[in-house]
Amino acid sequence: MTIPMKQFKLHKLTMRLKNPFRTSFGTFQEKEFFITEAIDYEGNRGFGESVAFSSPWYSEETVMTNLHVMEDFLIPILKENEIKHPDQVTELFRPIRRNNMAKAALEGAIWDLYAKRENLSLAKALGGGKKEIDVGISIGIKPTIPDLIEKIHQFVEEGYKRIKLKIKPGWDYEVLKEVRKHFPDTPIMADANSAYTLNDMDKLQQLDELNLMMIEQPLAHDDIVDHAKLQSVMKTPICLDESIHSIEDTKKAYELGSCKIINIKIGRVGGLTEAKKIHDFCQEKGMEVWCGGMLEAGVGRAHNIALTTLNQFVLPGDTAGSSQYWEKDIIKPEVVVENGVIDVPERPGIGYEIDEKAFNHFTEWTKNYHF
């Protein structure tokens, strides 16, 4: 059995977040991205989403490098090779260095197409068993502490299972301390997006007082050595995000003791197959994982939900409901969170349909690649 691919499409979309999302490295509001579409001879359509941002702040990839790499290198590889199972795609793409978000965008569409052809939900195709998943929410840096407290109240009320707060030098210990006073028992974590160095050791160690679930990526985006030094003197678990691009990175971080928790993002690690490998390794070692977010539209959100059904995703992820981000999402139904839980769809593939009207509204152009 092969997956006989007739055509690939790249759809370029632009959507606008309801509210600006502020991190230590910059503020997001316009979101440009690609929806990838893999089509077979029977008319089945598999969808993926590219998660790179417009500027190379989070990682070196951008929307435009994704286009260049997909169009000039990755799609030609798919054209030349017969694919039996989506697991092969990672291997086929291996000669192309990094560019993991570009790879994941295409691999995701092939996984969805594969699952639809097999009449399986993407969650089942990946080996996931959960019927529902727990989710938290990530809150950006706010103008004032009262603004932040109000937001947290709202999300705790809505039932989100944990609150993640973005921090940076000048918006850290004092803010978190005040938040803790208002929410003594809420599961709270902090994400620094690489805003600190080992020179800030004292400041970071102070966070140990606040009973945080974890601190995400406090140090450099490409470091695993300094994180090990920091973890050895901190009680709060360190979670790595930016530093982990592969199963190899995961093994090294584990051996060095650079973190106790891993945030798995499908785009950052080059696709669902690699994400699953990281998951399996962490499960074997007893390291907890959760699924991160990249302010995705509905297709990317659906992929995150399917991945999170694997057992070692024991901590709530960042895949909040569609309506937290968008006036209108591109899928139907939209992703709905009730009491901090998403019901995993059982329909074939990603389990959500493209809302053609909304999709066309946000699509700037589409390119076709015939196989």
Active site residues: 166, 265
Q: For ligand OSB, which is the closer residue by CB, 293 or 345?
A: 293
Q: For residues 309 and 289, what is the distance between their CA atoms, to the nearest angstrom?
A: 12
Q: For ligand OSB, which is the closer residue by CB, 74 or 156?
A: 156
Q: What is the DSSP letter of 168?
A: B
CB of 279 to ligand OSB, least distance (A): 18
Angle at CA of residue 128, ends 304 and 138, nearest 5°: 30
CB of 199 to Mg ion, least distance (A): 21
Partner interacting with residue 294 (select from Mg ion, ligand OSB, none; CB below 5-8 Å by kind): ligand OSB
Q: For Mg ion, which is the closer residue by CB, 142 or 265?
A: 265
Which residues between 155 and 194 bind Mg ion (CB under 5 A)? 191
Q: For ligand OSB, which is the closer residue by CB, 17 or 225?
A: 17
Partner interacting with residue 302 (select from ligand OSB, Mg ion, none; CB below 5-8 Å by kind): none
> What are the CA-CA distances from residue 196 to residues 2, 184, 218, 228 (Å)?
48, 26, 6, 14
CB of 140 to Mg ion, least distance (A): 12
Q: Which residue has the tokens 């090294």?
A: 252
Phi and psi of 110, rounded to 5°?
-70, -40
End-to-end CA distance of the chain: 18
Binder to Mg ion among 61, 134, 241, 249 (CB under 5 A)?
241
318 is a contact residue toward Mg ion (CB under 5 A): no
Q: Taking Cα atoms as reference points, which of 318, 327, 330, 249 lies closest to residue 282?
A: 249
Q: For ligand OSB, which is the closer residue by CB, 321 or 348?
A: 321
Measured at CB, which residue is nearest to ligand OSB? 293
Interface residues with ligand OSB (CB under 6 A)? 23, 58, 138, 191, 193, 241, 292-295, 318, 320
> What are the CA-CA distances from residue 105 to residues 57, 66, 75, 355 (Å)?
19, 9, 11, 19
CB of 19 to ligand OSB, least distance (A): 12
Helix (H) / strand (E) containing 276: helix 272-285
Do 109 and 47 touch, CB atoms closer than 8 A?
yes
CB of 292 to Mg ion, least distance (A): 6
What number of other Cβ atoms are within 10 A of residue 60's Cβ?
A: 13
Q: For residues 37 and 28, what is the distance between their CA atoms, to the nearest angstrom?
A: 26
Do 231 and 258 touch, CB atoms closer than 8 A?
yes
Q: Taking Cα atoms as reference points, which of 48, 67, 51 lies closest to residue 109?
A: 48
CB of 296 to Mg ion, least distance (A): 14
Q: For Mg ion, which is the closer residue by CB, 125 or 214?
A: 214
Q: For residues 250 and 262, what is the distance between their CA atoms, to the nearest angstrom?
A: 8
* Segment near Mg ion (CB under 5 A); pick from 141-149, 218-226, 233-241, 254-262: 233-241
Interface positions with Mg ion (CB under 5 A): 191, 216, 241
